[in-house]
C-alpha cells in the first residue's frame, strides 16, 4: 500500500526571540503513514504534535529532512487540496454561517457550487449542524465549532486527514460521532493522523501511535506492540465472593497469578447515553401529551 | 440554500455593505442637518455660490471609508498574521495575493457603492452646480499687472467653448493709496464683458459669464487702479459650456475616495505581518482620518471640485491621488514578497 506520508529525518527549529536560544520543536524524525490507517500523535503540551501537523499541512517549513505527502511536496497546492487539515483553535471567519463557511471552503478547493453545496449539506446533516441555520459560527459552542472545522476538512473528500485535537471540547456523543466518521474515512482508504490528549479515544480509534516529548519521538508502534502485557481477563457474572476465591485458588494451583478481583462497571458513556436517551424519551412523551 | 459570492471578494463586499450602510446613512443625515444648521459664512455669497462647501459632506465619506476598511480588517484574519485562523486561510487561498487582493477589492467596492450613493444624493443638497470642464489657460509670461504695464496673455490650446471666466489674482501692496485695479479681459481680441472688473483684495474671486464661445487666447489688461496683481498658474480659469453628467462626476469623486482606503489597507496588510489586530485597526483608522479629515489625501480636493462644479476628468485631482496610489501599491508588493507564516 502506498504511503500517504513519508518523512525522513524531519526536524523543525524555531528561531529564538532576541538573544534567546533557538527552540527545537521537532528532533529528526522518520515517519511513514500508509493509506487506510489512523495514527495517533500523543504527547504533553509543547511536545511538537501541532508542529508536526503544520509541517505536513504545508504551513511550516522543516529546517532539515524531507517530507512527502501523497507523493508530493507538502507545500504544493495540488497536494494541499487533497489533504484535509483541521487546526486547533477557533474557526477563521466568525461572521459567516456554517453553510457560508463551507461554501467559501468549497470555492477555494475548486469545487463546483452545486457539488460543494451538496457535500456541505450532507456533512452538516451528519455532524448535526443543520439546526444552527444562519447563526454565525463565531457564536457556536466549542463543540459546534469543532464539528464545523471537521466538516470543512472533509469537504474536499481528502485522501489524508490531519486533525489537531479533533474531539477536544466535544460532548461524548460528538466524540463518538467524530470517531465513527473517522472510522468510515479509514475504511474508504483515507489516512488519518490525529493529535490528541484523549487517550481513551486514541486507544479506541488508532491503529498506531506516536508518542512525542520535547520534540523527540519517545515511542511508536501499534497499540498491541505498545500496550500488550500478556495478561488476559476473565469476566464473570453471578458468582459470590466465596466462589470467586475458590476460582482464584484454582488459578494459583495451575501456576497463574491473580492480579486482582474487582467489580466491573460500565463505561460512563453508557450512563450518559442512557440518561440522554431517557430525557429525549421524556421530551417526546411531553410533546405527545401536549398534542393529545 | 443558494449562496452567492463565495470567494473573499463577495464575502467581504457583503459584510462591509451589511455593516456600514447604516452608519453611513446616519452620518449623511447628520451631515445634512449640520450643514443646514451651520451654513458657511460668506463675505460675498453671490460670487462664491457653490464654490464654498461646508465640511459636513466629508462626514459620511469618512464614516464609509473607515467602516469598510475596519470591517475588512476584522473580517479577514490575514490582516493580522498571528491571528487564529490566518494560516488556515492562507493555506486555502490561491494566487500570489492569497485572497488579500480580493478582500481589499471587496472593501473598496462596498465603499464605492455607498459613497457614490451618498455623493449622488447629497451633492445637490450641498449646492453643487452642474459639472463643467474647468480649463486653466497657460500664461505666455508671468508678470505684475498694473496700469501701464504690458497686458498678460493666456492661451488655451484646444480653444474650448466656454461660458464663464474665474479670476483669482494675488494682490500686492501699492506704493501709494489703495485703489482697486480695474481689469479688461479680451478673448481672441474681443471684449468678453463690459461689466466692471475690479480687484483690491488678495485672491479675490472675480467671476463673470459671457455668451458661449470658443476661446484660444485671453488678454488681461489693467486699465486703472494702484493694486499690483499677479496671476500665477491656476488664477485664471475658463469654465466650459458643455454640461457634464453630474452623477458620473459624483461617482468619480467616490472613486478617488478609494485611494486612501486602498493605501491604508495595503499598509495594514504589510504591518499585519508583525502587528496584532488592535494595532492594525488603529493604524488604518489613523491613516484614513488624517487623509480625509486632515486633508492629506486627494478626497477633500475632489469633493471641493465636485461642489465647485468642476468636471473631474479635466481637473488636477486625479494626478494628486498618484502618491497615495503608489504608497499602497508598494505596500502590496512588499507584503506579497514577505512570506507569511514562517514564524510560529
Chain B partners within 8 Å of A87 (Cβ) = 87-88
Task: Closest CB to A58: pick one of B1, B91, B342.
Answer: B91
In A, minimum Cα distance to B72 occurs at A93
- CA–CA dist B292, B303 (Å, integer): 10
Report CA dihedral (A108, A109, A112, A118) to the nearest 10 degrees.
Answer: -110
Residue A77, chain B, CB below 8 Å: the answer is yes
What confidence tens digit (pLDDT) does each residue in A54-93 have? 999 998 889 999 999 999 999 898 999 999 999 988 888 8
Mean pLDDT of B46-60: 65
Position A136 confidence tier, pLDDT thresholds 50, 70, 90? very high
Chain B partners within 8 Å of A52 (Cβ) = none
Position A145 confidence tier, pLDDT thresholds 50, 70, 90? very high
Determine whether the interchain pair A59/B75 forms a contact, defined as Cβ–Cβ distance below 8 Å: no
What confidence tens digit (pLDDT) does each residue in B168-179 have? 999 988 888 889
Q: Is the pLDDT of residue A284 over 60?
A: no
Residue intervals of chain A classified under CATH 3.40.50.300 are 3-15+22-227
Higher pLDDT, residue A46 or B43? A46
Position B297 confidence tier, pLDDT thresholds 50, 70, 90? confident
Tell me the ipTM for this assembly.
Answer: 0.76
Task: Closest CB to A108: pick one of B84, B86, B93.
Answer: B93
Nearest Cα residue to A138 out of B73, B75, B68, B8 = B75
Number of CB atoms found within 10 A of residue A220's CB:
17
Residue B157, chain A, CB below 8 Å: the answer is no
Task: Closest CB to A99: pick one of B3, B89, B93.
Answer: B3
What confidence tens digit (pLDDT) does each residue in A254-282 have? 998 888 888 877 777 777 777 776 665 55
Q: Is the pLDDT of residue B156 over 90?
A: no
Residue B15, chain A, CB below 8 Å: the answer is yes
What confidence tens digit (pLDDT) does each residue in A14-32 have? 887 777 888 888 999 999 9
Position A233 confidence tier, pLDDT thresholds 50, 70, 90? confident
pLDDT at B50: 47
Task: Closest CB to B92: pick one of A54, A108, A113.
Answer: A108
Determine whether the interchain pair A59/B87 forms a contact, defined as Cβ–Cβ distance below 8 Å: yes
Q: Which residues contact B82 (CB under 8 A, 6 or more apart)?
A: B276
Position B165 confidence tier, pLDDT thresholds 50, 70, 90? very high
Q: Is the pLDDT of residue A183 over 50?
A: yes
Domain regions of chain B by residue span: 8-131+245-337, 141-240
| Range list of β-strands (E), A73-151 | 83-86
Mean pLDDT of chain B: 86
Mean pLDDT of chain A: 87
Give B111 to chain A, closest Cα distance, Å.
19
Chain A partners within 8 Å of B88 (Cβ) = 85, 87, 92
Q: Which fold has domain B141-240?
A: Jelly Rolls (2.60.120)
Give A153 to chain B, closest Cα distance, Å.
11
Chain A partners within 8 Å of B12 (Cβ) = none
Residue A107, chain B, CB below 8 Å: the answer is yes
What confidence tens digit (pLDDT) does each residue in B301-315 have? 898 888 888 888 888
Q: Is the pLDDT of residue B45 over 60?
A: no
pLDDT at B177: 87
Position A291 confidence tier, pLDDT thresholds 50, 70, 90? very low
* CATH classification code of A3-15+22-227: 3.40.50.300
Number of CB atoms found within 10 A of residue B220's CB:
22
Terminal-to-terminal C-alpha distance of chain B: 38
Best residue of A108, A136, A152 to probe chain B, by most B CBs closer than 10 Å: A108
Best residue of A12, A58, A59, A115 to probe chain B, by most B CBs closer than 10 Å: A59
Q: What nine digits make up the cell of B198?
A: 475690479
* CB-based contact A97:A137 (threshold 8 Å): yes
Q: Is the pLDDT of residue B289 over 50?
A: yes
Residue A91, chain B, CB below 8 Å: the answer is yes
Q: What nine digits make up the cell of B330?
A: 508598494
Amino acid at each position: 500500500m502506498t504511503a500517504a506520508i513519508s518523512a525522513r529525518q524531519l526536524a523543525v527549529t524555531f528561531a529564538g526571540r532576541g538573544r534567546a536560544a533557538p527552540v527545537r520543536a521537532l528532533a529528526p524524525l522518520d515517519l511513514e503513514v500508509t493509506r487506510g490507517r489512523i495514527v495517533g500523535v500523543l504527547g504533553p503540551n509543547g511536545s511538537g504534535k501541532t508542529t508536526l501537523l503544520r509541517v505536513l499541512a504545508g504551513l511550516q517549513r522543516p529546517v532539515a529532512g524531507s517530507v512527502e505527502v501523497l507523493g508530493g511536496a507538502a507545500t504544493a497546492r495540488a497536494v494541499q487540496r487533497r489533504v484535509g487539515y483541521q487546526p486547533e483553535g477557533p474557526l477563521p471567519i466568525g461572521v459567516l454561517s456554517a453553510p457560508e463557511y463551507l461554501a467559501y471552503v468549497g470555492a477555494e478547493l475548486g469545487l463546483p457550487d452545486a457539488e460543494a453545496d451538496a457535500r456541505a449539506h450532507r456533512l452538516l446533516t451528519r455532524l448535526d449542524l443543520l439546526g444552527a441555520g444562519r447563526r454565525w459560527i463565531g457564536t457556536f459552542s466549542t463543540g459546534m465549532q469543532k464539528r464545523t472545522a471537521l466538516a470543512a476538512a472533509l469537504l474536499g473528500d481528502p485522501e489524508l486527514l490531519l486533525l489537531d485535537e479533533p474531539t477536544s471540547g466535544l460532548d461524548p456523543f460528538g466524540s463518538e460521532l467524530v470517531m465513527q466518521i473517522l472510522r468510515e474515512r479509514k475504511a474508504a482508504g483515507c489516512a488519518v493522523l490525529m493529535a490528541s490528549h484523549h487517550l481513551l479515544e486514541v486507544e479506541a480509534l488508532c491503529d498506531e501511535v506516536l508518542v512525542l516529548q520535547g520534540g523527540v519521538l519517545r515511542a511508536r508502534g501499534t497499540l498491541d506492540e505498545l500496550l500488550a502485557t500478556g495478561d488476559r481477563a476473565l469476566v464473570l457474572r453471578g458468582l459470590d465472593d466465596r466462589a470467586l476465591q475458590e476460582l482464584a485458588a484454582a488459578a494459583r494451583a495451575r501456576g497463574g497469578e491473580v492480579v486482582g478481583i474487582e467489580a466491573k462497571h460500565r463505561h460512563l458513556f453508557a450512563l450518559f447515553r442512557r440518561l440522554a436517551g431517557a430525557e429525549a424519551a421524556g421530551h417526546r412523551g411531553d410533546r405527545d401529551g401536549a398534542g393529545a | 440554500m443558494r449562496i452567492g459570492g463565495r470567494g473573499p471578494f463577495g464575502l467581504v463586499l457583503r459584510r462591509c455593505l451589511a455593516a456600514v450602510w447604516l452608519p453611513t446613512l446616519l452620518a449623511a443625515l447628520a451631515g445634512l442637518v449640520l450643514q443646514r444648521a451651520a451654513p458657511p459664512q460668506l463675505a460675498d455669497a453671490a460670487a462664491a455660490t457653490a464654490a464654498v462647501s461646508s465640511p459636513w459632506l466629508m462626514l459620511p465619506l469618512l464614516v464609509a471609508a473607515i467602516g469598510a476598511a475596519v470591517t475588512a480588517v476584522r473580517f479577514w484574519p490575514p490582516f493580522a498574521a498571528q491571528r487564529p485562523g490566518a494560516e488556515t486561510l492562507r493555506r486555502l487561498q490561491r494566487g500570489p495575493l492569497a485572497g488579500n487582493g480580493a478582500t481589499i477589492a471587496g472593501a473598496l467596492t462596498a465603499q464605492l457603492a455607498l459613497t457614490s450613493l451618498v455623493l449622488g444624493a447629497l451633492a445637490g443638497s450641498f449646492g453643487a452646480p452642474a459639472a463643467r470642464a474647468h480649463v486653466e489657460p497657460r500664461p505666455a509670461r508671468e508678470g505684475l499687472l498694473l496700469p501701464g504695464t504690458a497686458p498678460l496673455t493666456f492661451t488655451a490650446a484646444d480653444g474650448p467653448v466656454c461660458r464663464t471666466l474665474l479670476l483669482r489674482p494675488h494682490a500686492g501692496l501699492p506704493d501709494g493709496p489703495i485703489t482697486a485695479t480695474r481689469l479688461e479681459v479680451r478673448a481672441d481680441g474681443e471684449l468678453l464683458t463690459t461689466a466692471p472688473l475690479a480687484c483690491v483684495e488678495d485672491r479675490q474671486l472675480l467671476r463673470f459669464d459671457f455668451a458661449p464661445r470658443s476661446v484660444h487666447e485671453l488678454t488681461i489688461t489693467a486699465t486703472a487702479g494702484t493694486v499690483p496683481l499677479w496671476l500665477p498658474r491656476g488664477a485664471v480659469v475658463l469654465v466650459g459650456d458643455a454640461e457634464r453628467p453630474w452623477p458620473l462626476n459624483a461617482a468619480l469623486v467616490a472613486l478617488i475616495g478609494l485611494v486612501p482606503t486602498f493605501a491604508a489597507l495595503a499598509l495594514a496588510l504589510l504591518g499585519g505581518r508583525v502587528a496584532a489586530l488592535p494595532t492594525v485597526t488603529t493604524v488604518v483608522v489613523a491613516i484614513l482620518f488624517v487623509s480625509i479629515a486632515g486633508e492629506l489625501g486627494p478626497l477633500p480636493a475632489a469633493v471641493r471640485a465636485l461642489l465647485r462644479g468642476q468636471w473631474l476628468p479635466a481637473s488636477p485631482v486625479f494626478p494628486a491621488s498618484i502618491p497615495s496610489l503608489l504608497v499602497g501599491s508598494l505596500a502590496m508588493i512588499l507584503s506579497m514578497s514577505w512570506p507569511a507564516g514562517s514564524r510560529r
